[in-house]
Every structure is written in structure tokens, then in C-alpha cells.
A = this chain, B = another copy of it.
Amino acid sequence: MTADINTELPPPPFSHRRRWASEQAISFLMQQAVENRDVVSLAAGLVDQASLPVSETRTVLEEELRDADHAREMLQYGTTAGLEKLRETLVEHLSRLEQRSAMEMDLTADRIVLTTGSQQFLSLVGEVLLDPGDICLVAAPTYFVFLGNLNGLGARAISVATDADGMRMDALEAQLERLESEGELERVKLIYLVSYYSNPSGLSLSEDRRSEVVEIARRWSKRHRIMILEDAAYREMRYDGPVFPSVWSHDVPNESVILTQTFSKSFSPGIRVGYGILPRDLVDPICDRKGNEDFGSSNFGQHIISGIFDRGLYYPHVEQVRASYRSKRDCMLDAADKYFGDIPGVSWVHPHGGLYVWMTLPDSVDTGFDGSLFDRATKHEKVMYVPGELFYAGSTAEKFTHQMRLSYGVQTPEGIDEGMRRLSQAVRAML
């Protein structure tokens, strides 16, 4: 029996979630990058190719694979939560970052879940907490990929204003009051914060706001607990400025804050190991969900990261990475002075870490994909940036359209200088 291939079939039966998942801006950017191979990309948030840990990885693999029994362990299934040995190491790692003992933090390995980058952890938290129509409060601007996650869940992202100290706590309270008065408080489940050197703004949440946001989340937890999702992806990419303990560390009873970090920036994104630390009553829900999604991330990759720590190779590598990005950041800030310093109405953030310089142009310049600057920059000057409006939740009216995220991640110092020169030409052409 053969199917009649002349019959026209109706379309596939997509789920609502598929329809909610709007076209990802990142796909458009990657498409542009492919179509304009000769552009200098200040858009890509990738890490610096030259800094990737080749010799460290070689050393670890040579040694870890030498013993056949151990090699077989690496090649076998792991567990859903991930390699216990690495989770134990992460307890020590957190202890070092927070400058507090594991006991003081009440942190044990069974509260840690290893994921495929921290992105999978962010996605899992959304799945486990958010129903369609539920609300997540986010900074304006915030990490746009997580806005995509919220869209895909049918959840609502509501913006909270920021200043140089990160999300404004008065604005957060004001949004909560407004939502309560509108009968929507019961839909508010999550506050999402990029707490260190935020993507895109480069800004960190100030010390006093770190404790304040925990207090606010607790106080507004009237009928259910309002959770805080602290995305600390760039935490270890600190070049200067103050050392902050995490928001998570201010949640003494370990009930409200979920913390996620990653080795994608500080070590290698290709090995794809991120992790999250959970209040105890969220561990099973996240593991159940992850079990359904993939039974656990690459056990082999987790063994590599574990081996890197065992041999004392991690911290020296992070120092190298920091030194390299510090000089690239300086290079971009110098180039900003050199090429944009005399353009009226242009300003930018001086980040203490991370991968991005956030630049604001005069109001009249539309930086969006459909604006003339993007076209001029990519097609004529051959340079690419990420339009600032992508980082704002909500309707078009709520979005600033005259900002740009500039990354010094992948370019060489020369590439950064040249990219900034080209970009300044494109901006001048708009004025």
C-alpha cells in the first residue's frame, strides 16, 4: 500500500507554545552575519576564540582517559542532576566566590543541578514556574533571550526601570503595587535579574539593592512565594570595580532566590556546562522536568570541567581570560572616546566586567533592524551591532529605540578599533 502523494496535506498541528515563540531576533542577526561576511561584528556575544583553553583541555583528557575504567565512566550515562563530584566542587567554588563557608551558606551538592549551559537552567525554571499569562518582572533593558523564553511560555514580561545601580527598587515596588491594585499580584511569580555586568547594559545591581530585592520578594509573597531568578552568567568576568556577593547570598533561609552560573564565559561554551542552585523545594521539580527533557546533560563534558578543577587549571585560566577581556574592554572604551567623543548626544556605560558596552545615541537615531542606521552600518560601513530595542519587554511604545549593544567579545583589539571607527561613520551619516 502506498500513500497517495498527490493529495495535498494540511499544515502541521502546531501547539500554542510554538505560535507564542516569536521569531528569534538572534536568528536574524546570525542570518545577517552570514550574508555580510565582510562585516566587523560588534554584535556577536560569543567568547574570544583565542582565549579558549586548548592546552588545559588536552591535559585533562589525556589524563582522564588514560584509565580505561574511568574513561568508561565518562562515556556512560550520568544522572539527571549531573556528576556528583563536580557538584561537590561547585560547593567549594561558590564558597570561594561568596567568601563564606558551605556551612554558613547551608549549601550542599544536592541543591545544585548541572545543565546544558545556564540557558537550559533558565528555560527549566520558566517551565516549572510559569503558566500562560503569568508575570515575570524584568529590568529595562534585560537579556533578550530570556524574553524569548517568556514569550514561548505565553508568560508576560513586565519592565522595571533601571539606573546606574541596576533595577530600581522603588520602581519594582511601584510595579508590584500597581499589579496588586489591578488584581494581578497572584500572577506575579518571578523577578529576573542579571546581577553582574548585565547583558546588555554592563551594569551590576548595587550592594544595598541585593538585599533589598530579597526583602521585597519576601514581603510581596502573600499567597505564593515570589521567586527571584538571579542570572550571574558574567560574574567571574570581573575586570575592576567592587566585588559583590550574589543576591542569592542575601537569601539567608534559601527560599526565594534561584542562582544560575555557567562555564561558557569563563572556560568554554562548546563543552556546554552551566548550573543552578535551588531552594530545596524546587530541586525535584527541576530534576523531574530535566529528566523529561534529556535525562541529564553531557556526562563527558561534566567530567572535563571536573578534571580542570581537580588539576588546579580553572582559576589560572579565568585570570588569563579576565586579563584578555579587560584589555579589550579598554580598547573599546578608548575607541568610543576617539570616534564618538565629539558626537553630541552620544553616551555609553563604562562596564566593570562582562562583554558589552551599552551606547545611547541621540533620540532621533533609530537603531532598529528597520531603521536606516542598521542598514547603513551593515551594508555600507560593514559593521554590525545589536539594536537596543530588542532588550526591552512590552509594547513598542515602552522601548527605547536609540541604543546599541556593542560587544568586544570576539574581535581583536584592531577589530574593535576598526569596528568602532566604522560605526561612528554610520552614526555621523544619520545626524
Contact = CB atoms under 8 A, between A and B. Distances in A.
Contacts of A253: 3, 5, 9
A201 interface: no
Interface in A273-308: 279, 281-282, 285, 288-289, 291-301, 303-304
B225 A9 contact: yes
A298 B298 contact: yes
Interface string A53-85: 110011001100100100111111111000000
Contact of A218 (B4, B77, B264): B4
A100 to B, nearest CB: 15
Interface in A119-166: 119-120, 123, 127-131, 134, 145, 148-149, 152
A430 interface: no
A323 interface: no
B225 A127 contact: no
A176 to B, nearest CB: 14
A271 to B, nearest CB: 5
A224 B299 contact: no
Q: Chain A interface: which size bin?
A: 35 or more
A221 interface: yes
Interface in A193-229: 208, 211-212, 214-215, 218, 221-227
Interface of A: 1-5, 7, 9-18, 21, 23-24, 26-27, 30, 46-47, 49-50, 52-54, 57-58, 61-62, 65, 68, 71-79, 115-117, 119-120, 123, 127-131, 134, 145, 148-149, 152, 189, 208, 211-212, 214-215, 218, 221-227, 250-253, 255-256, 264, 268-272, 279, 281-282, 285, 288-289, 291-301, 303-304
